Chains A and B, each alone.
Chain A
Amino acid sequence: MATAHKTETLMQVTDLCVDFWVDGTMYPAAKNVSFEVARGETLAIVGESGSGKSTSAMALLGLLPDNARTSGSVKLLGRELIGLRPQDLRSVRGKDIAVIFQEPMTALNPVYTVGFQIVEALRTHFDLSPTEAKARAIDLLAKVEMPNPAASFRKFPHQLSGGQRQRAMIAIAISCDPVLLIADEPTTALDVTVQAEILDLLRSLRERLDSGIILITHDMGVVADMADRVVVMKDGVAVDSGTTLQIFESPTHAYTKALLAAVPRLHTATERRDAPPAQVSDRAPALSFRDVAIEYPKRGRVPAFRAAEGITFDVFPGETVGLVGESGSGKTTLGRAAVGLLPVKEGSLSVVGVDITGARAKGLRPVRRKTGIVFQDPGSSLNPRWPIGESIGEPLYLAGEAKGRDLDRRVEELLNQVELPLSYRNRYPHELSGGQRQRVGIARALALAPDLLVADEPTSALDVSVQARFLELLQGLQDRFGFACLFISHDLAVVDELADRIVVMHRGKIVEQGAKDAILRNPQDPYTQQLIAAVPVPDPVAQRKRREGRTAK
């Protein structure tokens, strides 16, 4: 909602530079960044990881580590913040500028109740008695639409769901009526339906508090949904800026264009794509779930937890099945069961023609050689103490397929296939970027030329442009090797790009499955409909329409 008349400028940033001292040299993280935020306006700072967007925002608050040097000018309501004494800056933080962090679980202190943390923020900046502060805190929790505010006041962060935690975080942030709210990827860690709720909340708060919001994000859908104006950053430089409409409709800078092109789009019913005819395979399925239930066994006093139940679906050779659902829906559980990492409690599961329902380590061996898995977190899925060449070669070595020179040659071949330079084989995981690590993950999964590849949210930790390239690579490899792929994701747009068929999961059960177009363009189940409606599309006009349609319901 761009404000028609020019209102008061809250924050004016001119020529902001941030450099980091590393080992005797200063490295620039942000170069001459300038922008301004008006009252009641949302400014989105967009960029990929390492672009300096978070660094610039933290520099506004003086929250950078000691090896950072900030120069330029940051004026909040005409008052210069750079070069302010630490104690003066502290009174600005929280009171005039508040921050909402990405991960509410780590941003909230786990040993104190939510109420305590709100009261603490209130009493730091205002002269309040404990009872007054408590009343105000409950008031704030009601304001952020927390269910049952009085009870939530006494709850610890771990007793709340992800969305509720983020609400509590927002309650702390708005406790002192800040004039400027910095939201650093506030919805990245949340499911789409929860994300939609949090964005609605932020929008209504902006109107009620009449403050400005700086939204840092990499999600173009969120930008289209929330922002009035956009600054695009790349390598520490603000390469493009303008109103949201300008940026989306007629981007001028090449990088902005590339960024927008890389965003996967969820195609709506009206713009139905001419999908390739669904290959109905009469071959035996590579992966077949028959009425499967999976339980996490009870441990000590914690009772057994049934993560999935009544699961029946097939994945045929050469096709990609998208398994979608929100966190806790049991989709990762199915992926892990498919490669034999979790035992099946009921029903039967067969992988590449072998029934692994009750198989133990020995029975799984033939299956291991024909399956591969790409994990979600590229930071954790490679052994940090091993050069990546060794990680890629391990399945080959263990299967006894290759040794010595032969093994080296096979590893080089695999690196070639995932388009990584051969020199990378002696590098360690920490030297690679997320996208490169994920390529290594694929190379390892494909080492034994498997018949089934399970990809567990392989792109959720990647930037959009990297994600686009990764998806292309995956498709290319599938065309070449013809493996069956179970692609697990929470991102419907990614699944739309890749999958032939889709299985939707909710609370451990399959609610709907079928061909891609049937599920995404004509969903029958109310949960699927809700899921699709909540996905923000990277188009401001269309997104507003969708939002209004959603709220009207």
Chain B
Amino acid sequence: MTRGTRPPMPEPAPSIVEETNENAIALKEIEGLGQAQIVRRRFFRHRGAMISLVVLVVIVLLAFTSVGFVIGDWQVGGWWQYNWVTAVAIENGGMPTIDFARFTFGNHPFGQDEIGRDIFAVVMRGTQQSLMIMVIVGFIGTVLGTVVGAVSGYYRGGIDGTLMRFTDIVITIPVIVIGAVLGRTVGIAGAPVLALILGAVVWTGLARLVRGEFLSLREREFVDAARVAGASDGRIIFRHILPNAMGVIIVNATLLMASAILIETGLSFLGYGVQAPDTSLGKIVSENQVAFATRPWLFWWPGVFIISIALCINFIGDGLRDAFDPRQKRMPSAKNMARGNATGAAS
């Protein structure tokens, strides 16, 4: 159905418009807005989430433009003069040349490792890999979790039992063990394959949540109404119930992505994740752990990026959670309340 503008029609019986809504005042804030618009507005108002979104975008841009990236045969060069494999002559004893006091970067802002590779380039490449793994894991985990949860919650009974016991089995296997066994064998094939494997084991929590959501939504009367109208099961699941469960799914997808970053870091640190010559944030930390006392910057930079990314994603998830919560009501600050008192009531 089109939602565009249409020619003005004569509007019947003005008397019905004056019908008062139960919570007319509370609705003033969202007057004339669709569901998506309300969520967007609430999200933009969440300061932490907005800052995190900006920081995350900056990190993504920095990681992908600085050293360039390779997708299959397609190579894109970056603006940074070094890459993450070539060693160059050591300057400044390998110490970071970035100077916050004088605001200069120098040749190797993040320093160099013992063989002379530029750490900025290495960290940027690591960030790229970690981000890519995060996105793939998030996507696969979300799709799998949603489908399993939706089918399980909608059909209940035997299908639900089977799917949930299968979920239980997947939950009981520690992610680290699966990662260690499979990661070793497929890790050599590159980070995307590793991400696929991880995505195939992290969907369980989301499946449980979506199932719960479906169990309660399927009892709502609009689902019965759709059934009476003759809607098929697929239509009810995907067109009717799923949009109503979107809040839970989006929020948990972001949390899933934050944990994906940490899982990848942990696996790579243990040596089961991304394999050399490629690198990831966890792998950088692991490679340089022996140099902790002598070259601490080899540690700090990847650490800072791991923490920033995980924190940003969590904040964004938090902002989305608040935005999707229908019971969320904005309370005025003391200052705003006082201003409201001063201006008096609008009538």
Contacts and interface: CB of A to CB of B under 8 A. Distances in A.
Interface of A: 17, 19-29, 48-51, 65-67, 69, 235, 336, 339-341, 365, 368-369, 371-373, 375-377, 380-387, 389-391, 393-395, 398-399, 407-408, 411-412, 416, 419-423, 426, 428, 430-436, 441, 444, 447, 466, 469
A69 B231 contact: no
Given A23-B29, A383-B222, A421-B16, 16 more contacts: A26-B341, A28-B347, A50-B24, A51-B20, A66-B331, A66-B332, A67-B329, A67-B331, A69-B337, A381-B220, A398-B231, A422-B9, A428-B34, A433-B20, A441-B225, A466-B19
B31 A375 contact: no
Contacts of A469: 16
22 contacts: A21-B336, A21-B340, A22-B28, A26-B343, A26-B346, A48-B20, A50-B23, A67-B329, A69-B337, A368-B229, A372-B228, A373-B224, A375-B221, A375-B224, A383-B243, A394-B226, A395-B228, A399-B229, A408-B1, A408-B2, A428-B35, A435-B19
A365 B230 contact: yes
Contacts of B331: 65-67
B222 A382 contact: yes
Given A380-B221, A431-B27, A398 B229 contact: yes
Nearest to A51: B20
Contacts of B345: 17, 19, 26-28
Interface in B1-34: 1-3, 6, 9, 11-13, 16-17, 19-32, 34
Given A385-B35, A444-B229, A430 B27 contact: yes
Which 5 residue pairs are nearest across A and B when measured between Cβ atoms?
Answer: A395-B229, A50-B20, A381-B221, A385-B243, A433-B21
B244 interface: yes
A466 B332 CA distance: 34
Contacts of A430: 27, 30, 35
A203 to B, nearest CB: 29
A387 B2 CA distance: 11
B129 to A, nearest CB: 37
A376 B346 contact: no
Given A49-B22, A50-B20, A368-B230, A444 B346 contact: no
B229 A23 contact: no
B240 interface: yes
Contacts of B231: 394, 398
A313 B340 CA distance: 61
Given A21-B336, A69-B341, A382-B222, A421 B12 contact: yes
Nearest to A364: B230
A444 B225 contact: yes
Interface residues on B, range: 35 or more
A419 B12 contact: yes
Main secondary structure of the interface of A (DSSP, over half): mixed
B40 interface: no
Contacts of B240: 383
B340 A381 contact: no
A447 B225 CA distance: 12
A67 B332 contact: yes
Given A27-B345, A67-B329, A393-B1, A336 B244 contact: no
B158 interface: no
Nearest to B346: A25
Contacts of B244: 383-385
B340 A49 contact: no
A394 B329 CA distance: 33
Contact of B225 (A381, A384, A407): A381
Interface string B224-258: 11111111000100001001101000000000000
A373 B225 contact: yes
B13 to A, nearest CB: 5
Given A385-B244, A421-B11, A433-B22, A27 B346 contact: yes
A419 B331 CA distance: 37
B102 interface: no
Nearest to A403: B1
A395 B222 CA distance: 12
A488 to B, nearest CB: 14
Given A48-B20, A49-B20, A395-B230, A20 B25 contact: yes
